[in-house]
Amino acid sequence: MTQDPSDSTIIDGVHYHQFDIVIVGAGGAGMRAAIEAGPGAKTAVISKLYPTRSHTGAAQGGMAAALANVEEDSWEWHTFDTVKGGDYLVDQDAAEILAKEAIDAVIDLENMGLPFNRTPEGKIDQRRFGGHTRDHGKAPVRRACYAADRTGHMILQTLFQNCVRLGINFFNEFYVLDVIMSEVDGVEQPAGVVAYELSTGDLHVFHSKAIIFATGGFGKIFKTTSNAHTLTGDGVGIIWRKKLPLEDMEFFQFHPTGLAGLGILLTEGARGEGAILRNASGERFMERYAPTIKDLAPRDIVARCMVKEVAEGRGAGPNKDYVYLDCTHLGAEVLETKLPDITEFARTYLGVDPVTEPVPVMPTAHYAMGGIPTNVNAEVLRDNTTVVPGLYAAGECACVSVHGSNRLGTNSLLDINVFGKRAGNNAVAYVQNAKFLPLPEDPAVFVRDMIEGVRNNPGTERISVLRKELQEEMDTKAQVFRTDESLDSVTKTITHLRDRYMNIGVQDKGRRYNTDLLEAIELGFLLDLAEVVVFSARNRKESRGGHMRDDYPDRDDENYMKHTMAYLTGDPHSSDAADHIRLDWKPVVMTRYQPMERKY
């Protein structure tokens, strides 16, 4: 399906292409942007996978929008829930846009062909989801539009189908590894990207006026994660290495219901349909922690309560290390029609039938709230206010910030559609008047050196060993509960692993489909990002949303009601993270809602 653009040229073994807009990543955000960009400008979508392999497809439960198809609802309530769910660290202007444009985003998808579940009147059906309430927290509301428990799959397929309809140029299995920056009037601006073609090992330079990053998250810094093996934060890492800032990296969401031991996601929609979390004695423990909305409290709260139950000895199983998600009272019909995929996951991977038995679950690393800072137009920021002209980001890799310190379920599928669309539209508007910037003499030199450096490194360390150690350390020391001590310890581990990373050796020296080399480069990004996550987390001495500090258990609005901005300032290989990372703050935009205690 890779298009072979006839206008590409080969100079010194490097392929050169020219496109007005280059979109990096072919998941939900990337393809949503492409649907806007494709008809308006010459557009290429570059992905290290085939588009339909993207992890948007693994999203299950739904996409929130105040359609009010089944009960009274308003986008203003949705805005409030998003702000409160994010523990008030949400930029409220952005949240308002998200909630308002949600309605059109869902209708757009339906018009494109997405097969939503329907109400008896034939309208889009909606279900309950964690943290979504009527009238500012009074009761759970049916707001999530869904297609069984495969909403993400349907979104990904629908977007891909429409890209096919529009004849979008895809470059599949091309791994983007660098953004080329050129200086214009003393301002650094992107002039294109450099990609490594996995099937041949060739390098490709994509000369472009605008670039949209939609590369997804980096959940693979953790061991137990719902994220795909390929979610290694490459896009976020590239931006970081270009010395552009990253925002709110300490906030990582742990989804309460991952299959115990495996991390495979079981949608919150299960609880939306009425499933209940129970501890070893069968107690519905969420009643104690969130008496109003119980099991439908936001994810950070539920995840912490689960870990607490286990820590206090009320866990189930031979090692007392998980709790149960009880769906047995829902009946076979609800499970088979509304939650068929998760029913199958439990049967396949744990041999547990949710119709008759409760399913062992534990929190799993799920979503990065932080990432590349952007404004509400999806333009990437180089500091708190200045945009980088021609550079856009959308989806999980970006931080607008609509999710604050904790994302509400169903808001991510919304995020990719609302801000993916905005990124596409704004990029089209931008390229109408922008020029192609001159490329440096050998734009691929950095990537060539990086790849050949890894390929020919005579080292002895194995990638898998380093990665495993990183992931296990992050799981034990930087997960749902963090302390200064644990974060300090994992910082040291990362520094040590970075040293060992200099001594890696890949066994596959070939050029074609060298996945050994690929994993080595991905590990480099993981190490960089894990360091930023931990460094930012140490600096935030409070507990808020997805970031929970045992040593600072309370939210501290006086000192920390602001976004973290991390900058790479020096040699990333210097031994002390403080030598090369500088942290700064960015104010939170508040419009309607003043911070309140977060109770459910």
Partner 1 sequence: MSTATIDAPAPVDDALKPFIVTLIVRRFNPELDDEPKWVDYDVEMFSTDRILDALHKIKWEQDGSLSFRRSCAHGICGSDAMRINGRNRLACKTLIKDLDITKPIYVEAIKGLPLEKDLIVDMDPFFESFREVQPFLIPSKKAEPGKERIQSVADRARFDDTTKCILCAACTSSCPIFWTDGQYFGPAAIVNAHRFIFDSRDDAAKVRLDILNDQEGVWRCRTTFNCTDACPRGIQVTQAIAEVKQALMRGKP
Residues at the annotated binding site for substrate?
255, 267, 366, 407
Angle between helix 463-477 and 515-539 (nearest 10) = 20
DSSP calls for 483-544: -HHHHHHHHHHHHHHHHHHTTB--S---STT-HHHHHHHHHHHHHHHHHHHHHHHHH--S-B
- Residue 203 has φ and ψ, to the nearest 5°, of -100, 145
Among 11, 139, 164, 332, which residue sits at the site for partner 1 (rule: CB under 8 A)? 164
Residues numbered 185-214 forming contacts with partner 1, rule: CB under 8 A: 199
Q: What is the secondary structure of 205-227 as a DSSP string? A: EEEEEEEEE-----GGGSSSBSS
Q: Are strands 203-213 and 387-393 parallel, antiparallel or unpaired?
A: parallel
Nearest approach, Cβ of 230 to partner 1 (angstroms)? Answer: 5
Smaller CB separation from partner 1, 1 or 594:
1
Residue linked to tokens 């010459």: 42
Cβ atoms of 31 and 108 within 8 Å: the answer is no
User: Per CB under 8 A, which of residues 215..234 are in contact with partner 1?
Assistant: 228-230
Closest approach of partner 1 to the CB of residue 451, in Å: 16
Query: What x-and-dash track marks residues 95-114 binding partner 1 by CB under 8 A?
Result: --------xx-xx--xxxx-
Q: Which amino acid is at 212?
A: I
Smallest distance from the beta carbon of 524 to partner 1, in angstroms?
16
Quick check: is 271 catalytic? no
Degrees, nearest 5: CA angle 583-392-31? 130
Q: Is 323 strand, coil or helix?
A: strand
Number of residues in contact with partner 1 under rule CB under 8 A: 83
Q: How far is CA 291 from CA 256, 314, 553, in A?
A: 18, 19, 20
Piece of the chain touching partner 1 by CB under 8 A; list 36-44, 116-124, 388-396, 453-461: 116-124
Stretch that binds partner 1, among 49-57, 81-89, 94-102, 582-590 (CB under 8 A): 49-57
Choose, by CB under 8 A, the member of 374, 412, 491, 514 that binds partner 1: 514
Q: Which stretch binds partner 1 (CB under 8 A): 79-87, 153-161, 295-303, 524-532?
A: 153-161
Active-site residue, selected from the candidate residues 299, 304, 498, 598: 299
Chain residues 123-142 in contact with partner 1, contact rule CB under 8 A:
123-124
Minimum CB distance to partner 1 smaller for 158 or for 405: 158
Which class for 111: exposed (0-12), middle (13-18), buried (19 or more C-beta within 10 A)? exposed
Binding to partner 1 (CB under 8 A) within 331-390 occurs at: 341, 344-345, 348-352, 356-358, 360
Q: Which of 136, 243, 492, 512 binds partner 1 (CB under 8 A)?
A: 512
Token pair in block for residue 324: 């149960």
Q: What are the phi and psi torsion angles at 7 (to 5°)?
A: -90, 10
* Residue 467 DSSP code: H
Query: Beta-carbon neighbour count of residue 254 at 10 Å?
Result: 27
Q: Which stretch binds partner 1 (CB under 8 A): 121-129, 233-241, 296-304, 579-587?
A: 121-129
Least Å distance, CB 425 to partner 1, is: 17
Strand extents, DSSP E, 138-217: 139-145, 169-172, 174-184, 187-197, 203-213
| Local structure of residue 371 (DSSP, 8 states) | B
Rounded CA-CA distance 359/356 in Å is 10
Is position 506 an interface residue for partner 1 (rule: CB under 8 A)?
Answer: yes
Q: Pattern 459-498, binding to partner 1, x per CB under 8 A? A: ---xxx----------------------------------
Residue number, 512 or 573, with CB nearest to partner 1: 512
- Identify residues 446-465 at the interface with partner 1 (CB under 8 A): 462-464
Footprint of partner 1 on residues 56-85 (CB under 8 A)? 57-58
Q: Which is nearer to partner 1, 511 or 562 (CB)?
A: 511
Does residue 433 touch partner 1 according to CB under 8 A?
Answer: no
Closest to partner 1 by CB, 356 or 385: 356
| Closest to partner 1 by CB, 157 or 257 | 157
The correct pick among 31, 66, 144, 264 for binding partner 1 (CB under 8 A) is 264
Report whether 563 contacts 371 (CB < 8 A).
no
Catalytic residues: 299
